[in-house]
Structure 1
Amino acid sequence: MADRVKVCLILEGSYPYITGGVSSWAHQLIGELEDIDFVLFTISPAADQPVHYDLADNVVAHHDLVLSQPRSSKKRTTDKKLLLKIKSIHDSLFAGSMPDIGALVKDIPVGHSLSSEAMGSPAAWEMITSRSQLKNPAYPFADYFWAWKSAHDMIFNILAAALPEADLYHAVSTGYAGLAAINAKIRLDKPFILTEHGLYHKEREMEIRKTPFIRGYQRDMWINIYNTLSKMCYRYADLIITLFEHNRRLQLELGAPEQKTRVIPNGIDTGRFMVKREKREGFHVGLVGRVVPIKDIKTFISMARIISDDIPEACFHCIGPTDEDEGYYEDCKILVKSLRLEEKFKFTGRQNVLEYYSFLDVLLLTSVREAQPLVILEAYCAGVPVVSTRVGNVPELLDFDDRFIAPPKDALHLARGVKYIYEHQEEMAGLIEENRERVLSFYERKSLHQAYRDIYQEYGAS
């Protein structure tokens, strides 16, 4: 019997600690590929987080790196050549070129973070102060210093990490997970597979631009760091996978070699979502998702107020966990009360979504950011029409039908889509069948997982 392939799956801020699309994908992939062994290398913001998934038997090990936790060095290096290499890499980045970090990574002792040397050496201090004067003259030096230190502490922690032994390394984003995979590829000479659900550097940029205390050149520095990490991942990865064609084209624009890129969409267990429909009295609009800002539940509530005025029998179900951002959940409850929707709008908490798919008349998605939302595929398979914001792969999933696609945060436009479905239910019957057939043909999870099995066996054997 041939040896089993061992895959190190590298995840940042998701599985198995946080529920959501990426975590569900990882959990299902591991569970489906029972003939593959997995080692989890997770990158976390804090230690001792509760695990929200039961790990499968083929998860043979789990290593968690707390990114913000200072790493103690066994010895202090006095290798000035190493510090000069760091400065040379920064000079290349400031000049707009992409440096080769291979020699630097090989020269860093495993387990040894360069943070203290990089901050304390005269060469580093001269570089930091001169860059601040050049790029950040209008803001205090302290702002620049602490931003620089925070970013480089995390980078050096990743480059110091000892990755577990595996046949290949599969990062589920660029960013710090991708940097860890680069570390493994350089040190261990093993293949690096990259899957991007969303585009990490784009998502981080959106967050940074919305954060008021990141200002001046510090904002540009963080954005440049995340763009550079993505470019490095595209350079070092052996295979670059994304969920849909639009994101693949964005990867190419940032420098991904076309011959390395491939599209493998997410899929669902279609048999599980072929539910028996049971019409209930009223008109039921549901949103399946966490009560967090990225899902923009407040726009769902605002839309519910508009629909309630036009469709008195309408009622609304927010189906998903409410405990991930308690402050946001409280804000949403206040908005429901202020719009006098207490009798019509319900937060269900975690539920068996199949029960709701059996009677929902519309599934709504109000997210401000998504990649390829599986809830749309689930709803289609269950025979539920969808109205959504224009995010990620939604336009393609909704067949570019503008009747059912709205700009983010546009409650009125979303309400028009919901009202159209209410008023054209005979027309919807045909569209529902078309959507179900499309999911059955192109988004069956087992066949898509087989694509990953083939990749693991091909690259793991090499």
Structure 2
Amino acid sequence: MLPSLQNPSADICLILEGTYPYDRGSVATGVHRMISAMPNLKFALFFIGTERRLAREKAFELPDNVTELTEIFLFDDEFAATELPKFAKRPPFRVFKPLLEKLRIVLNQPEDSDETINELSAELVKTAPGCDFDWFWKNPGTCKLLTEFYETRYSDESFQDYLLNLKSLLQPVWRLFQASPTLPPASCYHSFSTGYAGLIGAQACRFFGDSGFLISEHEISIRKRIMELLHAEWADLSINGISPLQTGVQPLRQLWIDFFIQTARLAYESADQIVSQFQKNADYQAEFGADPRNISVIPAGVSLRKMEAVRRARAERLRIQPDRKTVGFLGRINSSKNVKMLLYAARITADRLPGTRFLIAGSAEEDLEYYTECRSLRAELKLESVVKFIGPAEAEDVLPRFDVLALSGSSDHLPFPILGAFGAQIPVVATDIGACRELIEGRSDDDLGQAGRVVPIAKPELMADALVEILSDPGLKNRCGTIGRARAEACYTETAVIAEYRDLYDRLSGPIVAFP
């Protein structure tokens, strides 16, 4: 049983899977700014990672209103089970009977087992904290159930591969619930994804009956997870050289997809409120089981006060270098950002508009292999004098050097660099993914005009067309920048976003007691 909520240790508990405070991405940056902007609320952090040895140094100094940081690592071999009392690690096998009954139903009827998943989760909360996973895995009842499931559904697959996949799926879930007693009591739980974070958040609001549960998603977690699974090499390999994507989804891969769809539905159904950053992703949330009545759209926001200094610094640079033509990229250098497309566009742009330069700012440590490939492509395209990789950089430092921001990514989210560019009055050219069209062209009730250009994915020649058009026309460049700034002022201020989240916290938590 989870702790009592009689004396919550925090007003808000943030459930963070692989992000703040160890990551410097847009989600983590938004979390830090939100905590810092609400100094009268106490925040507890519940961080879910993979392995402790892979954990980085904290990327942020925790604000004073963070009361505690709890960490669990779901793929550690030396997990918290080693800290269980010795007598509790191996309970009698009979304690698993209710759990196995629920698991049997979920495994055999994945498409129609929502209520049973709730009951299974409740059994896990009762059982996992007092038991080592290996003891459950070796239980004769578990072995019998998994063998029956194999013979019914997966008899064409290798039994060894089947067991490996099922253990890899169940063990982190067991460890998540094993750590449930360490979840800080709070008046409201806020998860920034579905997945493991949404799963434990759903249980927190059930067992802390008076607590609210909020899910907000930068990009739709389940869509991202499905795409990763469809391209994963470890779940199952092609047979006779035939790709699973040519013959349909292989059974073991589908097992993982079904699991994450089920957990997403459980999280959505348990949430009191669900937030998306733009309407298209809100529609995706509804497709995966979220009640549209519980979904609201709250975009990311930009600090116009902070960007004002950037805007002035950029204007001064342009006064000194009025003919400057610099295209900038700001973001992580990885395959989802499709930097290679930008390099191809750079070659076309430089040929058509000599003197154009490209600055690529961002960290490469997440995918060094991709970064190496990008540098090789730069050499192959003879762009060494045109394109510079300048490494990680803060937006405030690098935006004054940009005349146009170019983003060539392929993931469904709201790119925060676009908001920074708007604040600095910089036009934007971006691929038609996520919220880019909504940002650049405006929502249906927005008649400000275009703050840049939107181009198709994987069409470098069209991106080059847009860059040449804006860079060649100072009047167009200025108009696009002015429209972007006006749109940020009207729709995307950090102050307004923080106020909306504060209202949500108040509504979901009841009256929140602030610091004395």
Q: Give the TM interval when normalised to the shorter protein.
A: over 0.9
- Alignment partner of 2:384: what SS? coil
The aligned residue for residue 42 of structure 1 is 47
The aligned residue for residue 97 of structure 1 is 113
Deviation at 1:342, TM superposition (A): 1.0
- Mapped to 2, the partners of 1:230 and 1:82 lie a distance apart of 21
> Does structure 2 conserve the Cα–Cα contact (< 8 Å) formed by 1:89 and 1:99?
no
The one-character-per-residue Cα deviations of 1:408-434 (angstroms, maximum 9, x if unpaired) are: 232222112112212333233223222
Deviation at 1:320, TM superposition (A): 1.6
> Does structure 2 conserve the Cα–Cα contact (< 8 Å) formed by 1:319 and 1:353?
no
- Mapped to 1, the partners of 2:348 and 2:452 lie a distance apart of 17
Is residue 397 of structure 1 aligned with residue 417 of structure 2?
Answer: no
- Mapped to 2, the partners of 1:301 and 1:196 lie a distance apart of 30
Cα 1:260–1:326 shift into 2, 3 Å: same
- Alignment partner of 2:382: what SS? coil
Equivalent AA in structure 2 for residue 443 of structure 1? Y
- The 5-angstrom pairing of residues 185-264 of structure 1 reads 185-189=205-209, 190-215=211-236, 216-264=250-298
The aligned residue for residue 286 of structure 1 is 328
- The 5-angstrom pairing of residues 318-333 of structure 1 reads 318-333=360-375
Is residue 76 of structure 1 aligned with residue 90 of structure 2?
Answer: yes
- The 5-angstrom pairing of residues 336-375 of structure 1 reads 336-375=378-417
- Alignment partner of 1:398: what SS? helix
The aligned residue for residue 60 of structure 1 is 67
Query: Per residue, is there more helix in 1 or in 2?
Result: 2
The aligned residue for residue 16 of structure 1 is 21
- Mapped to 2, the partners of 1:249 and 1:317 lie a distance apart of 35
Is residue 33 of structure 1 aligned with residue 38 of structure 2?
Answer: yes
> Does structure 2 conserve the Cα–Cα contact (< 8 Å) formed by 1:71 and 1:113?
no
Equivalent AA in structure 2 for residue 425 of structure 1? P
Deviation at 1:248, TM superposition (A): 1.2
> Does structure 1 conserve the Cα–Cα contact (< 8 Å) formed by 2:471 and 2:477?
no
Cα 1:113–1:202 shift into 2, 3 Å: farther
Alignment match of 2:426 (pick from 384, 389, 396)? 384
- Mapped to 2, the partners of 1:396 and 1:410 lie a distance apart of 20
- Mapped to 1, the partners of 2:493 and 2:9 lie a distance apart of 25
Q: How high is the TM-score relative to the length of structure 2?
A: 0.84
The aligned residue for residue 145 of structure 2 is 127
Deviation at 1:357, TM superposition (A): 2.1
Alignment match of 2:358 (pick from 309, 316, 327)? 316
The aligned residue for residue 140 of structure 1 is 158
- Mapped to 2, the partners of 1:168 and 1:402 lie a distance apart of 38
> Does structure 2 conserve the Cα–Cα contact (< 8 Å) formed by 1:92 and 1:98?
no
- Mapped to 2, the partners of 1:101 and 1:117 lie a distance apart of 22
Deviation at 1:353, TM superposition (A): 2.6
- Mapped to 1, the partners of 2:478 and 2:341 lie a distance apart of 27
> Does structure 1 conserve the Cα–Cα contact (< 8 Å) formed by 2:235 and 2:253?
yes
> Does structure 2 conserve the Cα–Cα contact (< 8 Å) formed by 1:102 and 1:186?
no
Cα 1:409–1:129 shift into 2, 3 Å: farther
The aligned residue for residue 469 of structure 2 is 420
- Alignment partner of 1:62: what SS? strand
> Does structure 1 conserve the Cα–Cα contact (< 8 Å) formed by 2:10 and 2:184?
no
Equivalent AA in structure 1 for residue 184 of structure 2? P
- Alignment partner of 2:114: what SS? coil
Deviation at 1:312, TM superposition (A): 1.2
Deviation at 1:238, TM superposition (A): 1.0
- Alignment partner of 1:415: what SS? helix
The one-character-per-residue Cα deviations of 1:63-96 (angstroms, maximum 9, x if unpaired) are: 0110112442533232122322222333342x53
Equivalent AA in structure 2 for residue 153 of structure 1? Q
Equivalent AA in structure 1 for residue 459 of structure 2? D
Deviation at 1:4, TM superposition (A): 9.6
Q: How high is the TM-score relative to the length of structure 1?
A: 0.93
The aligned residue for residue 445 of structure 1 is 494
- Percent identity, aligned pairs only? 27
> Does structure 2 conserve the Cα–Cα contact (< 8 Å) formed by 1:159 and 1:179?
no
- Mapped to 1, the partners of 2:338 and 2:350 lie a distance apart of 19
Cα 1:441–1:255 shift into 2, 3 Å: same
Is residue 306 of structure 1 aligned with residue 345 of structure 2?
Answer: no
- Mapped to 2, the partners of 1:37 and 1:368 lie a distance apart of 37
Cα 1:156–1:398 shift into 2, 3 Å: same
> Does structure 1 conserve the Cα–Cα contact (< 8 Å) formed by 2:35 and 2:65?
yes
Is residue 455 of structure 1 aligned with residue 504 of structure 2?
Answer: yes
Equivalent AA in structure 2 for residue 81 of structure 1? P
Is residue 266 of structure 1 aligned with residue 300 of structure 2?
Answer: yes
- Mapped to 2, the partners of 1:222 and 1:124 lie a distance apart of 19
> Does structure 2 conserve the Cα–Cα contact (< 8 Å) formed by 1:105 and 1:187?
no
Cα 1:116–1:187 shift into 2, 3 Å: farther
- Mapped to 1, the partners of 2:198 and 2:279 lie a distance apart of 21
Alignment match of 2:186 (pick from 166, 171, 187)? 166
> Does structure 1 conserve the Cα–Cα contact (< 8 Å) formed by 2:15 and 2:190?
yes
The aligned residue for residue 182 of structure 1 is 202
Structure 1: any 5+ residue segments left out of the alignment? none
Deviation at 1:224, TM superposition (A): 1.3
Equivalent AA in structure 2 for residue 439 of structure 1? A
The aligned residue for residue 134 of structure 2 is 116
Deviation at 1:133, TM superposition (A): 3.5
Deviation at 1:173, TM superposition (A): 0.5
> Does structure 2 conserve the Cα–Cα contact (< 8 Å) formed by 1:75 and 1:112?
yes
Is residue 86 of structure 1 aligned with residue 103 of structure 2?
Answer: yes
Deviation at 1:17, TM superposition (A): 1.0
The one-character-per-residue Cα deviations of 1:80-134 (angstroms, maximum 9, x if unpaired) are: 22322222333342x5332344444444246235633542233432332333344
The one-character-per-residue Cα deviations of 1:185-239 (angstroms, maximum 9, x if unpaired) are: 2222222111111110100111112223333212111111111111001111111
> Does structure 2 conserve the Cα–Cα contact (< 8 Å) formed by 1:242 and 1:248?
yes
Is residue 406 of structure 1 aligned with residue 455 of structure 2?
Answer: yes
- Mapped to 1, the partners of 2:501 and 2:367 lie a distance apart of 34
Equivalent AA in structure 1 for residue 324 of structure 2? G
- Mapped to 1, the partners of 2:136 and 2:336 lie a distance apart of 36
